Chains A and B, each alone.
Chain A
Amino acid sequence: MGQVDITHAELPVAVTPDTLPVDELAARLRAICGPEHVLTHPHDLRTYQSDGLLHYHVVPPVAVLPGCAEEVRGVVAACHELRIPWVARGSGSGLSGGALPIADGVLIVLSRMRRVLEVDLVNQRVVVEPGVTNIAVAHAVAPDFVYPPDPSSQIVCSIGGNVAENSGGAHCFKYGFTTNYVTGLEVVLPDGGVVELGGKALDAPGYDLLGAFVGSEGTLGVATRITLRVIPAPEAVKTLVAFFADVQDAGRAVSAIVAAGLVPAAIEMMDALAIHASEQMAHAGWPTDAGAALLVELDGSAAECHERFGELEGLCLAAQATGVRVAQTEAERAVFWKMRKSAFPAAGRISPHYFVQDGVIPRTRLPEVLGRIEALGVEFGLRVANVFHAGDGNLHPLVCYDGNTPGEAARAEELSGLILEACLQAGGSITGEHGVGVDKLAYMGRMFAPEDLAAFRRLRLAFDPDGLANPGKAIPTPRLCGEVPGPYRIHPLEAAGLAERF
């Protein structure tokens, strides 16, 4: 057996938009899922042209909405037989274009598959179909158990999407990510085969393909049944918000909290502009002159939580907090969280347009990188609001711009790219939870060497040798294959001479 020359192996896709046998394909899909669940009219298809990242859009030639795992298997097998690529989509709330349709393939929409199949609290497991929303899982196990991963979009986002993206949320610092809670998957492989990865039990013999599949952005197959681990709800939860003169002071408070050995369930930071924006939606009455707000939540046993909460307040004050508010009621705690979770939509109240960035840095580099972002904002003449998961070092700068002012969108995009560059220079990552999708494909070569990308392709080839599953996403294919569907746009890093497509 010879070595596969993976560096130059193209993932072959045999069909182009011109030769796509739409009629034949649609007929096959109608036979599998029923005529009412196969869409071919542009008017119907436009609903699905984008995911949560609206500036990318592609109208797919066909969308199909299977109602069960067997129908998904049938659809994928038909695509394999006809050598037609496909994209799976959950709720379409992703922020990296991971569920962006392709012009020469099928969009498989999983939103009809929303049954909670089993709630097994003795074994602390829940089994769901991929279209079930994150919040529905939380409700299925409440009040005695919780499902920790809680992305801000949890009311709409689907568990299937969470699995594809390895979604995080505000409580990852203590509790981890989706990948730490998926124990089993039934997966339809790109050749139409069905495989069980893991199950309800842990440590299934063989490679940890479960770990490899979670976060693979739909490029290795479609998960049709998902088994999740849930945990006993903490006995007590206590939340405070501390205000600081600037984000540097707030950053030092985070370091002090961590150095004291506290492991808060959440440590979230907002800067002055983000507070200003959120205040317009959540009306929490936070001081308008605060330079930064730090939302910290402790949970655990009631005694331990109480004991350490006093210490937490002391650490905030010692780090020059200008004020500390403790949520006295569940309603007040909800308002604190509303301030944090409305930050993205609230940016729309202070700016006609904005880019949401998602980068990660080592937490200790926070003051330095925030300083760099601030300097970039000044240099570009654009406002940048910062909200982030400070415990994880996961930044979400919101780059505000007015798309009606010529050139401003391009400047904002360039600034957004330079923020990622600053994250990489600090030893971080280009994405902490939103994924690579199409949006960050061109940055993969900045974070990873060609040998790293070649190793990723080895995994891809094992699952999807024909390159039919979500092509053009997550992992760049060699040379020009990193280009995204739709109109080509020069990436800011390319324009700046910092990156090139490969």
Chain B
Amino acid sequence: MATPSGSGGALAPPTVSPATPAEVAEQLAGGGRVRPVGGGTKLAWGAPGIAPDRELSTAGLDRIVAHNDGDLTAVLEAGVPIARAQAAFALHGQRLTLDPPDGGGAATIGGILATGDSGPLRHRFGGPRDLILGVRIALPDGTVARAGSDVIKNVAGYDLAKLMCGGLGTLGVICEATVRLHPVAEATITVQAHAHDPGSLCAAARRLARHPLELESLDLRWDGPEDGGLLLARAVGRTVERSVRSLRDVLAAAGLESDQIEDDDELWAQQRDRQRAAPGGAVVRVSGLPADLERILRAAPSAVGRPALGLVWVRLQPDPGALAELRRAVHPAACVLLDAPEQLRAEVDVWGVGPGTELDLLRRVKQSFDPAGVCNAGRYAGGI
């Protein structure tokens, strides 16, 4: 059982560990505030919020309910560690194309969905919202509701599965999810190019992003003007060698020298790790556009990004001034503070959603699902 971190030295609340969705719903309806916990790897996300009366662990919901390999779908309980699910799928040559940093194997399906977390595979396969087909959720009114379906195409009912992805468990608790799977990647080769100047790095990234090669991942890494940055393109398939030649031609045309790395797993593990804060530091997710990348990199001491998606994870000193400066420099791109020391999260607006019609609507959604503020109170946008 993981222990909560970032609780500022306060006594940890008692933990309950329900074994069924109905028991989860009972806990939510049983009075008091609840903080859902999966593997405990992202508890330092969101505003510190109001101290919960108890933690609700999903460790008891740990079944791989179904792996329908012929249909490329799986039904997973929320507490299943993603590493365990991937090992099961791999036996059939399949995978869930979500590869966020997984905290050494502790991260659970429920936690990844609730935080909307993703990794380099998002370039080709999308994020949690794009891979979830159905969901079973426990709600604060004590009911268990299902939305979506177990098949890969369905338009009946509201898509509450997407609503839950990235909702940080503030509307209810994800108990079970149906996800879409893909075949495992055949041989991969990563092409790597270095540049000191963010301008040429981003220009090359834009060329690769519009090249009709089906890359597994397209990432960049930035270490500041001294060390410069890397562009990483991971080619895949039966004809991977040819794709690599083509990629290197594009990079050469963009004025960058490149090399190729066949044993590339470690390289991509590093990319994932750098979506997290350095020890004692902070990390901010910037929602930019491909055309904004250069400006974002110039404002970032250190970062990794998905250039075709415009998403960048910037590592910062845990200092309100550094966050304010970044927000000013990349405006109007949204900046969400992800993992960071509790003191910083208490001092700043973690989410950056200002007053207005959108925040009113977010509040109405919260009010409709969780009127008494049972679930993760105070941790979400606008103090939700």
Instruction: Report A's interface with B, CB cutoff 8 A.
Output: 1-4, 6, 121-125, 144-145, 165-166, 168, 172-173, 176-177, 179-180, 189, 193-197, 200-212, 214-216, 232-235, 255, 258-259, 261, 263, 300-301, 303-304, 307-308, 360-364, 389, 392-394, 427-436, 440, 444, 447-449, 451-456, 458-463, 475
Contact = CB atoms under 8 A, between A and B. Distances in A.
B287 A427 contact: no
Contacts of B150: 362, 427-428
B137 interface: yes
B365 A452 contact: no
Contact of B291 (A122, A166, A360): A122
Given A189-B361, A301-B239, A6 B209 contact: no
Given A195-B361, A215-B159, A459-B160, A304 B238 contact: yes
Interface stretch (B31-39, B140-148, B267-275): B140-148
B343 interface: no
A261 B183 contact: yes
Nearest to B182: A263
A194 B361 CA distance: 10
Contacts of B70: 255, 258-259, 362-364
Interface in B182-231: 182-184, 186, 206, 209-214
A125 B292 CA distance: 14
A123 B334 CA distance: 16
26 contacts: A1-B372, A2-B371, A123-B290, A172-B153, A201-B288, A202-B287, A203-B127, A203-B285, A205-B287, A205-B353, A208-B165, A261-B93, A301-B237, A303-B242, A303-B243, A393-B153, A432-B155, A435-B155, A436-B155, A447-B156, A448-B157, A455-B139, A455-B145, A455-B147, A456-B157, A460-B158
B288 to A, nearest CB: 6
Contact of B153 (A165, A210, A429, A440): A429
How big is chain B's contact interface, by range?
Answer: 35 or more
Given A201-B288, A304-B243, A462 B310 contact: no
A475 B157 contact: yes
B252 to A, nearest CB: 18
Contacts of A206: 351, 353, 358-359, 362, 380-381
Contact of A459 (B127, B163, B213): B163
Given A122-B291, A205-B352, A304 B146 contact: no
Contact of A234 (B186, B212, B242): B212
Contact of B310 (A201, A232, A436): A201
Given A235-B212, A451-B143, A462-B364, A123 B289 contact: yes
**Which of B162, B333, B336 has the most chain A CB within a 10 Å cutoff?**
B162
A47 to B, nearest CB: 27
A211 B154 contact: no
A163 to B, nearest CB: 12
A448 B146 contact: yes
B291 A432 contact: no
B210 A232 contact: yes
Nearest to A217: B155
A302 B116 CA distance: 34
Contacts of B206: 122
Given A194-B357, A197-B358, A232-B212, A364 B68 contact: yes
A208 B362 CA distance: 10
Interface string B118-134: 00000000110110000
Contact of A393 (B151, B158, B333): B151
A458 B93 contact: no
A304 B239 contact: yes
A364 B71 contact: yes
Contacts of A454: 141, 143, 145
B156 A205 contact: no
B3 interface: no
B311 A202 contact: yes
Contact of B213 (A301, A451, A456): A301
B383 interface: no
Contact of A456 (B68, B158, B242, B364): B158
A459 B182 CA distance: 31
A52 to B, nearest CB: 15
B153 A207 contact: no
Contacts of A121: 210
A6 B368 CA distance: 9
Contact of B137 (A176, A448, A455): A455
B5 interface: no
A458 B368 contact: yes
A196 B334 contact: no
A168 B145 contact: no
A326 B246 CA distance: 27
Contacts of A432: 151, 153-155
B147 to A, nearest CB: 6
The 6 tightest CB contacts between A and B, nearest first, are: A211-B162, A455-B145, A261-B183, A364-B70, A303-B239, A429-B154
A436 B310 CA distance: 35
A177 B154 CA distance: 10
Given A234-B214, A301-B237, 4 more contacts: A193-B360, A206-B380, A206-B381, A452-B147
Given A301-B243, A432-B153, A451-B143, A463 B333 contact: no
Contacts of A431: 154-156
Contact of A201 (B71, B116, B289): B289
Interface string B275-304: 000000000010111110000000000000
Given A364-B70, A431-B154, A458 B369 contact: yes
B7 interface: no
Nearest to A221: B361
A392 B149 CA distance: 13
B166 interface: yes
Nearest to B364: A462
A125 B209 CA distance: 13
Nearest to A144: B210
Contact of A203 (B143, B209, B311): B311
A307 B242 CA distance: 12
Given A176-B130, A211-B129, A393 B288 contact: no
A121 B130 CA distance: 22
Given A205-B334, A362-B73, A212 B353 contact: no
B52 interface: no
